[in-house]
């Protein structure tokens, strides 16, 4: 079994709270073709469904969808690592990326280079997991990624922005 294969899973269509003592980090990317910007977001909540922190970033760069999605996950892993969080489930609505993390075949593309970096960083954290979820279960990160261009190129939220309040309430019910 390839490294990480047992930690890459899922197919949920509703947001579910993480196990006790774990954090859940929802991740997404957005692509703003007219302004040549790719944006990323992640939102972290605990097993009591409390908002912990969120991060948005954007880069003036034309990336493929797969590259942007992979960089978003790598940024989220760096965010969790930088905050010294130990038990984190990363949820993403990119089935292709989640499958690439557990497949044995890797190509020479930029996407697979980023995937290799993600696999390496996951290998440093035995309690980091990556799980696929449907877009409906990832609306907080999706909304943050779309709005990321509204803030500085790197922004950390210690309280949730109003643009995601509806989704946080919806996930809580």
Between residues 109 and 159, which one has the greater pLDDT? Answer: 159
Q: What is the pLDDT of residue 105?
A: 65
pLDDT at 173: 77
Mention every residue, 6+ apart, whose C-beta is less than 8 A from residue 164.
43, 54, 140, 143, 144
* Domain 5-172, second-level architecture: 2-Layer Sandwich (3.30)
Is residue 172 within a helix (H) or strand (E), and if so which, with residue range? helix 165-172
Q: CB of 97 within 8 A of CB of 133?
A: no
The mean per-residue pLDDT over the stretch 38-56 comes to: 96
pLDDT in tens, 14-29: 899 999 999 999 999 9
Helices (H), 65-153: 65-82, 95-102, 110-123, 139-147
Give the list of residues 6+ apart from residue 28 with CB closer than 8 angstroms, or none. 40, 41, 42, 72, 92, 93, 138, 141, 142, 144, 145
State what percent of residues in the chain have pLDDT above 70. 91
Closest CA to 119 of 59, 82, 69, 70: 70
Asked if 148 contacts 58 with a C-beta cutoff of 8 angstroms, the reply is yes
Locate 106 and state its tokens: 């890797």
Is it the case that residue 3 has pLDDT exceeding 70? no
Structure tokens at 62: 């034309």
Arithmetic mean of pLDDT over the chain: 90
Query: For position 2, what pLDDT does the model report?
Result: 36
pLDDT for res 5 = 41
- The token pair at 105 is 């075949």
Provide the pLDDT for residue 127. 96
Residue 170 predicted with pLDDT over 90: no
Question: For residue 100, what is the DSSP state?
Answer: H
pLDDT score of 172: 81
**Boundaries of every domain in the chain:** 5-172
């Amino acid at each position: 079994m390839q490294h990480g294969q047992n930690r890459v899973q899922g197919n949920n269509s509703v947001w579910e709270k993480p196990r006790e003592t774990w954090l859940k980090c929802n991740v997404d990317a957005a692509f703003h073709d007219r302004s040549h910007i790719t944006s990323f977001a992640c939102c972290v909540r605990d097993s009591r469904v409390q908002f912990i922190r969120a991060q948005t970033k954007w880069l003036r760069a034309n990336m493929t969808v797969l590259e942007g999605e992979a960089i978003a996950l790598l940024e989220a892993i760096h965010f969790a690592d930088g905050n010294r969080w130990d038990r984190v489930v990363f949820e993403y609505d990119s089935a292709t990326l989640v499958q690439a993390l557990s497949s044995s075949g890797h190509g020479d593309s930029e996407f697979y280079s980023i995937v290799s970096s993600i696999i390496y960083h996951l290998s440093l954290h035995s309690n980091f997991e990556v799980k696929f979820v449907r877009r409906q279960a990832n609306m907080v990160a999706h909304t943050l990624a779309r709005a990321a261009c509204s803030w500085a190129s790197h922004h950390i939220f210690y309280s949730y922005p109003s643009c995601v309040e509806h989704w946080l309430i919806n996930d809580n019910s």
